[in-house]
Amino acid sequence: MHSSVTKQTGFVALMIVQIIFLVLYWLFVHYGKEALPIEDSGSNEQHDSKYPHFQDIQVMIFVGFGFLMTFLRKYGYSATGYTLFLASLVIQWAVLMKGFFKMEGGKIELSLENIIDADIAAAVPLISMGALLGRITPIQLLFMALFEIALFAVNEYVALDILSICDVGGSITVHAFGAYFGLAVALMLRPTKDQNDAGKYEGANYLSDIFAMVGTLFLWIYWPSFNSVLADGTGQERAIVNTYLSLAAATVTTFVLSALVSHENKLDMVHVQNSTLAGGVAVGTVCNLLIGAHGAILIGIIAGTVSVMGYRFITPFLTAKLRLHDTCGVHNLHGMPALISAIASAIYAAMVTREQYKSDLGTIFPAMLNQTEIEASNTTELNAHIMGGYERSASTQAGYQLFGIAMTVLVAIVGGTLAGLVLKYTNFRKLQKEEHHQDELYWEVPEERKDE
C-alpha cells in the first residue's frame, strides 16, 4: 500500500512537470521565421533539407535506444516504454534549456532546427539510463534527466561557443557527457558489498537478444545521419562517408575480438550488439575533418578493439572492485570511444592547414579564422565569447579540444555525483535488489510471465 502511494505521488509530480512545460512554452516559445507564413507564396523556399536526417535520428532515439535495451529478458516493457517516456519528456525540456541560451527579445524561436537539437539532447539521459538500467525507477529517471539536460545545455554551450571546439557528431558533448554522468550516478547508488553480485534477472535470453538486435541495426544504419546532421557543405559528405567506414571497420574488428577473447572462441551477443557501434562514437568528433578513408577505418579498428576489451575485462573489474555496475556497458560503447574521438580530434586539429581546409576552416574551426577572413566572410557571425579570441593556431585548437573533453568529463562526473546523492539520500522510492531488472513493479505483466 505504502509503495503504491509513493508511486502515485511520483506520477502526479510528473503531470505537474508536464503542465509547467505547457506554461513555459506559452510564455517563452513562438515560431521562428521558417515556420511563419510569408507575404508572397511565390517565393516558396524549399523545405529544410535536414528533415530526412531528423527522421533518421528519431529512429535512433526511439527504436534504436529502446530496443537495444530490451536485451534484459524481463525488462522489455521498461526498456521500450521508459525510452519513449523519457525521450518525450526530454525533448520538450531540451527545447527550453537550449533555447534559453539563444533567446531573442525574451522569446525562443521554434523551428525544425530546435527539435533536431532536442532529439540529439535526448540521447544524453538515454545513455546515462543505460548505465542504470533496471536499477532505478521511472521517477528517479525523470529527476535525473531534468537535471542532466540543464547541465548538458550549459556544458555544451561552453564547449562549442566559448571553448569553440569542434564536435560535429557530439562524441564529446553528448556521448562522453552522458556516459560519465550515468556512471557517476551508478557509483553513488552502488550496492553494499554483500549485494554486489549480479541481479537474478540481469541477463538476456534468446529472444530478448534478438529484439536487442533491432536496436543495434537501426543505430548502425542511421549513425551517419546522427554524425552529419549538423555538418555543413562538403563536411557533411565527409561525415557520412567516414562514419560509415568507421562503423564497418569496428564491426569486423568486434567479431574477430569477440571470438578471440571469449570462451571456446564463441561470439558474444553483448559485443555484437554494442561494440559494433563504437566506431560511430569514436569517429564522431572528427568525422567532418580531413581524416581520410584510412583514418576512419583505423579509428573504427581501435574503437572496436577498445570496446570489446572493455566489456571483457574493464567492466567486470569495475564491478568487482568499485561495485560500479554498468548494465549496458555504456563505458565501453560511449565512454571510452568518446575519449578516443576527443584525442583524435586534438591530433587532427594540430595538423589543420588553411590550404587543405579552405572555406571549411571557418565552419569547422571558427576560432582559427583571422581578421581578414572574418571580414571577408559574410556567413560567420562574430562571436565575442570565444576564449582567447580569434586567430588560434592549429596547436592551440588542439589544446582546446583536450580542454573540452576534460571539462566535459569533469562536469559530467560532478553533476552525476550530485544527482546520485540526491537520488540516494532524499525521499525517492528506491528499488530493492530483488526488484532489479524486471518489469513487474511498475507494469501490469501478463500472468504467464509471473510464473517464470
Q: Does 264 bind its own copies (CB under 8 A)?
A: yes
Closest among 366, 355, 346, 362 to 406, alpha carbons compared: 346
With CB under 8 A as the rule, give the number of residues binding its own copies.
136
Closest distance of CB 436 from its own copies, Å: 17
Closest distance of CB 125 from its own copies, Å: 14
Q: Does 444 bind its own copies (CB under 8 A)?
A: yes
C-alpha cell at 304: 572496436
Closest among 149, 182, 124, 156 to 405, alpha carbons compared: 156
**Which residues inside 88-107 make contact with its own copies, applying CB under 8 A?**
88-89, 91-92, 95
d(CA 95, CA 135): 28
Closest distance of CB 245 from its own copies, Å: 7
Planar angle of CA 319, 442, 217, nearest 5 degrees:
60
State the pairing for strand pair 108-110/29-31.
parallel
Q: Does 162 bind its own copies (CB under 8 A)?
A: no
| Shorter beta-carbon distance to its own copies: residue 165 or 361 | 361
Residue span binding its own copies (CB under 8 A) among the ranges 156-164, 179-187, 250-258, 413-421 = 250-258
Site string for its own copies, 272-311 (x = CB under 8 A): x---x-------------x-xxx--xx--x----------
Closest distance of CB 89 from its own copies, Å: 5
| Sole binder of its own copies in the list 180, 218, 311, 348 (CB under 8 A) | 218
Phi/psi of residue 109, nearest 5 degrees: -90, 120
Cβ distance 169 to 243 under 8 Å? Answer: yes
Cβ distance 68 to 273 under 8 Å? Answer: yes
Residue span binding its own copies (CB under 8 A) among the ranges 1-9, 150-158, 175-183, 403-411 = 1-9
Cβ distance 363 to 311 under 8 Å? Answer: no
Residue span binding its own copies (CB under 8 A) among the ranges 149-157, 180-188, 202-210, 339-347 = 202-210
| Shorter beta-carbon distance to its own copies: residue 60 or 405 | 60
d(CA 409, CA 69): 24
d(CA 420, CA 224): 33
Phi/psi of residue 108, nearest 5 degrees: -90, 125
DSSP state of 110: E
| Sole binder of its own copies in the list 175, 190, 238, 392 (CB under 8 A) | 238
d(CA 173, CA 156): 6
| Sole binder of its own copies in the list 140, 164, 173, 225 (CB under 8 A) | 225
Q: Does 194 bind its own copies (CB under 8 A)?
A: no
**Which residues inside 354-413 make contact with its own copies, applying CB under 8 A?**
356-363, 377-379
| Shorter beta-carbon distance to its own copies: residue 390 or 403 | 390
Closest distance of CB 62 from its own copies, Å: 5
Q: Does 146 bind its own copies (CB under 8 A)?
A: no
Closest distance of CB 78 from its own copies, Å: 9
Closest among 135, 127, 138, 117 to 65, alpha carbons compared: 127
| Shorter beta-carbon distance to its own copies: residue 18 or 395 | 18
d(CA 109, CA 113): 10
Residue span binding its own copies (CB under 8 A) among the ranges 170-178, 267-275, 327-335, 427-435 = 267-275
C-alpha cell at 9: 505521488
Cβ distance 417 to 181 under 8 Å? Answer: no
Cβ distance 111 to 31 under 8 Å? Answer: yes
**Which residues inside 18-77 make contact with its own copies, applying CB under 8 A?**
18-19, 21-22, 25-26, 29-31, 34-42, 44-49, 51-52, 55-56, 58-59, 62-63, 66-67, 70, 76-77
Cβ distance 339 to 171 under 8 Å? Answer: no
d(CA 258, CA 264): 11
Q: Does 328 bind its own copies (CB under 8 A)?
A: no
| Shorter beta-carbon distance to its own copies: residue 241 or 421 | 241
Name residues whose C-beta falls within 8 Å of residue 236's C-beta, 6 or more positions apart in sequence.
Answer: 228, 288
Residue span binding its own copies (CB under 8 A) among the ranges 143-151, 168-176, 239-247, 417-425 = 239-247
Q: Does 84 bind its own copies (CB under 8 A)?
A: yes
d(CA 205, CA 19): 40
